[in-house]
Amino acid sequence: MANTLTDHVSARGLRAPRFSLRQREAIEAWLFVSPTVVGFMLFFLGPLVAVVYFSLTEWNLLTQQSTFVGVENYVDALSRNPDFWHVLRNSFVFALGLVPLNMSLALMLALALSRPFRGVVFFRTIFFAPVVTSAVAWAIVWKFLLQGEAGAVNQLLAMVGIDGPNWLREPDWAMVAVIVTRVIKMVGLNMILYIAALQAIPRDYEAAARLEGASSWQIFRMVIWPLLAPTTLVIFVITMIGSFKVFDHIYLMTGGGPENGTLVLAFYIYEQGFKFFNVGYASALAMIMFVIVLALTVVQMILRRRDMQ
């Protein structure tokens, strides 16, 4: 009986494993990455393929009738619809106003708050707080603050003798007001990224430059700024993409007005898809916006890489 049991255990111990070590490691690796892969397929690749297909159709969301029209939506947007070019111009104006203002202000704040001093944590918190504030609440509050004569902003300007405009009702000022309020909300994020980059620069570089007699401006221009180039590229790409995707700010503060003066591409896509139910045309506009943002990002990366070399 004892010999039979020993033989049975020995037989089980000598049984070859079902999977080799390499196969088990491969299975474990796929199990670890599978949530990310499934999420990528469901929430990015799948919708992207669907948008590409919808952009080639004339699909009315209300009637649920879909007709394959090829590139007709793209031709209509680029050559027959003057509103598209007006909206595209507004998007570039918004980006060109927001990106330099946001990045320059974030860099100045980071330079001022990167060194330890009494109260530095308080000031960092103050400037970062709008980033985590609800975008809806932020836009609604600023909408009230910028109301004509009753708004708090114009009342403060009146105290110093300045007659402020009706910010959100005048076409020349509405875009400015939207850009500035957006910058105030998001500048804290870029400030934190710049602070992290500044604190990673060894102090020895600055000390050596000072021993050579370099001024503070020369140290920034010749030492700090080149070392901030990778971070600046990341911040530029993030801010540029965010400026083209802005929607909630426009929707809540101006609704695209006045006189379509703040109607940007993301909001125009929303209107075409969910207000006029032209899903096919809205999908084509979304793909055009995707190509524009991708092209701007690639060009910027090539230019920055050339500068770094």
pLDDT in tens, 153-162: 989 988 888 8
The answer to whether residues 62 and 277 touch, using CB atoms and an 8 Å cutoff, is yes
Residue 300 has a pLDDT of 77
Q: Which of 278, 276, 107, 271 is nearest to 194 (CA)?
A: 107
Between 4 and 115, the more confident residue is 115
Going from the C-alpha of 99 to that of each of 21, 86, 142, 256, the distances in angstroms are 52, 20, 20, 20
Alpha-helix residue ranges (DSSP H) falling in 133-202: 135-145, 152-159, 171-199
Residue 2 has a pLDDT of 47
Q: Is the peptide bond before 258 cis (omega within 30 degrees of 0)?
A: yes
Going from the C-alpha of 66 to that of each of 61, 109, 116, 288, the distances in angstroms are 9, 52, 61, 21
Residue 196 has a pLDDT of 93
1-6 mean pLDDT: 50
Amino acid 257 reads G
Between 63 and 121, the more confident residue is 121
* DSSP one-letter code for 16: P
Beta-carbon contacts of 155 under 8 Å, excluding residues fewer than 6 positions away, are 149
The answer to whether residues 253 and 141 touch, using CB atoms and an 8 Å cutoff, is no
58 forms beta bridges with 67
Positive/negative CA dihedral, 128, 131, 136, 139: positive
* DSSP one-letter code for 1: -
Residue 3 has a pLDDT of 52
**pTM attached to this predicted model:** 0.82
Q: Is 104 helix (H, G, I), strand (E, B) or coil?
A: helix
Q: What is the pLDDT of residues 6-62, one digit of tens each?
A: 555 455 555 667 778 888 888 899 999 999 999 999 998 999 999 999 999 988 777
Region of poorest pLDDT, from 8-17, 66-75, 140-149: 8-17
In whole angstroms, what is the distance from residue 290 CA to residue 297 CA? 11
In whole angstroms, what is the distance from residue 168 CA to residue 175 CA? 8
The answer to whether residues 250 and 243 touch, using CB atoms and an 8 Å cutoff, is no
The answer to whether residues 267 and 256 touch, using CB atoms and an 8 Å cutoff, is yes
Q: What is the pLDDT of residues 229-266, one digit of tens each?
A: 888 888 988 898 889 888 888 999 998 888 888 999 99
In whole angstroms, what is the distance from residue 127 CA to residue 106 CA? 10
The percentage of residues in the chain with a pLDDT greater than 70, rounded to a whole number, is 93
Mean pLDDT, the chain, rounded, equals 87
166 has pLDDT over 90: no
301 has pLDDT over 90: no
